[in-house]
């Protein structure tokens, strides 16, 4: 039986295309910044929300065993839902320090937000124009980043912290 | 004296404007090659989202610091992965995309060459 070369080529090409499409369908196309896990955070300088002379940098985070960096804003509704978990973390676990970064917000509104819901943060800094958020690979808030004393990202949470993620954080810092 | 001062001012204004438009063009080129991660199918240049506005600020800052376009892309890829740039770099995951068009072109040329040669031979015979 004679099989022509063109038929073999067409058959191979069809199989190749099917394989490519199959691989493409299997791939998760939802964007996330999971790639940051395991990397070190950039140098930064974060000015305190109430006092322009007071600031922290990455060097200060090295003193903490674990630091949770949380981006929040008073205008962000999901930030309200995750706030109770941040308060729990702050009250129940002494190994973890929480840094709040107030994102593109008015100072007065941010302070009212913390007065109303409670302040879980060891330091509240301001990111008025959002430039600091880019250093942390943030693309929407709330987002939280858990780093160890080497400044290595060990967990990144996009969206509000829920019960499952709260428990995961507790496990990681044990 | 007055005329030379006037000419100097005019020259300064013209050169500043040219420089500014050149920088704006370079910035626009960078924005066009950056994907807005929170928008559907829009580049940073097209988008008015909060995220795009912040990226524009950061890119502008880095330009002012004297960083090259490649350095800016590298910085952003480091933070957001390769997805943020429209033009991906050559790597093992996408080498087929880069190589396949050339391979198909060469293969197609070869097939055409064979067909033409066969047709010529048939005509001679």
Report the residue from B57, B58, B81 with minimal CB separation from A35. Answer: B81
pLDDT on residue A32 = 73
pLDDT on residue B13 = 61
pTM beyond 0.80: no
pLDDT on residue B16 = 55
The reply to whether CATH 3.60.70.12 applies to domain B2-87 is: no
Q: Which of B51, B125, B30, B116 is nearest to A31 (CA)?
A: B51
Low-confidence ranges of chain A (pLDDT < 50): none
Q: In chain B, what are the domain boundaries?
A: 2-87, 90-125
* CA dihedral over A13, A14, A17, A22, signed as positive or negative: negative
Q: How far is CA A59 from the centre of its chain?
A: 20
The nearest CA of chain A is from the CA of B46 a distance in Å of 17
Q: Check B51 against A139: CB less than 8 A apart.
A: yes
Q: Which residues make Cβ contacts (< 8 Å) with residue A135, sequence separation at least 6?
A: A41, A42, A44, B79
pLDDT on residue A3 = 66
For A106-149, write each residue's pLDDT tens digit: 999 999 999 999 999 999 999 999 999 999 999 989 999 999 99
Q: Check A104 against B50: CB less than 8 A apart.
A: yes
Q: In chain A, what are the domain boundaries?
A: 34-173
User: How many other C-beta atoms lie within 10 A of the C-beta of residue A146?
Assistant: 23
Q: Check A134 against B54: CB less than 8 A apart.
A: yes
- Tell which of B80, B86, B93, B97 to mutate to test the A interface (max A CBs under 10 Å): B80
Question: Which strands make up the sheet holding A153-158, listed edge to edge?
Answer: A123-127, A96-103, A66-72, A143-148, A153-158
The answer to whether ipTM exceeds 0.90 is no
pLDDT tens, chain B, 125 aa long: 677 777 777 666 665 555 577 888 889 999 999 999 988 889 999 999 999 999 999 999 999 999 999 999 999 999 998 889 998 778 777 788 888 889 989 999 998 999 999 899 888 87
The answer to whether the beta carbons of residues A74 and A110 sit under 8 Å apart is yes
Q: Which residues make Cβ contacts (< 8 Å) with residue A155, sequence separation at least 6?
A: A37, A144, A145, A146, A168, A169, A172
Q: Which of A47, A69, A42, A31 is nearest to A129 (CA)?
A: A47
For chains A and B, CB pairs below 8 A equal 36
Instruction: Give the residues across from A145 on adjacent strands.
Output: A69, A156
pLDDT on residue B6 = 72
What CATH superfamily classification does A34-173 receive?
Glutaredoxin (3.40.30.10)
Nearest CA in chain B to A20: B96
Residues of B in contact with A131 (CB under 8 A): 54, 57-58, 61
């Amino acid at each position: 039986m004679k099989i022509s070369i063109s038929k073999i080529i067409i058959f191979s090409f069809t199989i190749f295309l099917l394989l490519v499409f199959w691989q493409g369908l299997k791939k998760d196309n939802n964007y996330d910044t999971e790639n940051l896990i395991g990397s070190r955070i950039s140098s930064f300088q974060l000015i305190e929300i109430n006092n322009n002379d007071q600031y922290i940098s990455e060097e200060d985070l090295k003193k903490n065993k674990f630091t949770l960096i949380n981006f929040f804003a008073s205008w962000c509704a999901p930030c309200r839902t995750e706030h109770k978990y941040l308060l729990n973390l702050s009250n129940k676990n002494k190994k973890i320090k929480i840094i709040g970064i107030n994102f593109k917000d008015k100072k007065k509104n941010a302070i009212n937000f913390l007065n109303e819901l409670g302040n879980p943060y060891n330091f509240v800094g301001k990111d008025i124009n959002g430039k600091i958020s880019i250093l942390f690979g943030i693309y929407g808030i709330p987002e939280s980043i858990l780093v160890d004393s080497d400044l290595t990202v060990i967990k990144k949470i996009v969206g509000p912290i829920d019960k499952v993620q709260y428990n995961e954080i507790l496990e990681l810092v044990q | 004296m007055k005329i030379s001062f006037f000419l100097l001012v005019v020259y300064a204004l013209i050169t500043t404007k040219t420089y500014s438009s050149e920088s704006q063009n370079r910035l626009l080129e960078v924005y066009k090659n950056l994907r807005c991660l929170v928008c559907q199918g829009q580049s940073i240049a097209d988008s008015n989202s909060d995220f795009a506005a912040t990226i524009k600020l950061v890119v502008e800052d880095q330009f002012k610091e004297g960083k090259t376009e490649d350095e800016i892309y590298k910085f952003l890829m480091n933070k957001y992965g390769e997805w943020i740039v429209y033009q991906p770099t050559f790597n093992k995951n996408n080498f087929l995309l880069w190589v396949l068009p050339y391979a198909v072109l060469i293969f197609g040329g070869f097939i055409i060459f064979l067909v033409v040669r066969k047709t010529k031979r048939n005509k001679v015979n």
